[in-house]
C-alpha cells in the first residue's frame, strides 16, 4: 500500500512534505513491513 502511494506521488512536479508528514509515512511503511512479515510467518506455519 505504501508502494502505491509513493508511485502515485512520483509524478508530481512540485511538492512539499513536512517533517511530521514524512514521519507518518515512514512509521506506516515500517508497520506495513512488520505486518507482511507476520502474515508470511503465520501462513508458513499453516503449511507445515
The residues, any chain, with a CB within 8 Å of residue 3's CB and separated by 6 or more, are none
Predicted local distance difference test score (pLDDT) of residue 40:
65
Report, as an integer, the average pLDDT of 1-30.
82
CA distances 38 to 10, 15, 26, 46, Å, are: 29, 34, 19, 12
CB 1 within 8 A of CB 29: no
Predicted local distance difference test score (pLDDT) of residue 19:
92
Tell me the whole-structure pTM to 2 decimals.
0.50
Amino acid at each position: 500500500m505504501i508502494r502505491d502511494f509513493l508511485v502515485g506521488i512520483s509524478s508530481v512536479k512540485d511538492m512539499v512534505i513536512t517533517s511530521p508528514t514524512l514521519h507518518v509515512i515512514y512509521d506506516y511503511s515500517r508497520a506495513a513491513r512488520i505486518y507482511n512479515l507476520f502474515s508470511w510467518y503465520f501462513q508458513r506455519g499453516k503449511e507445515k
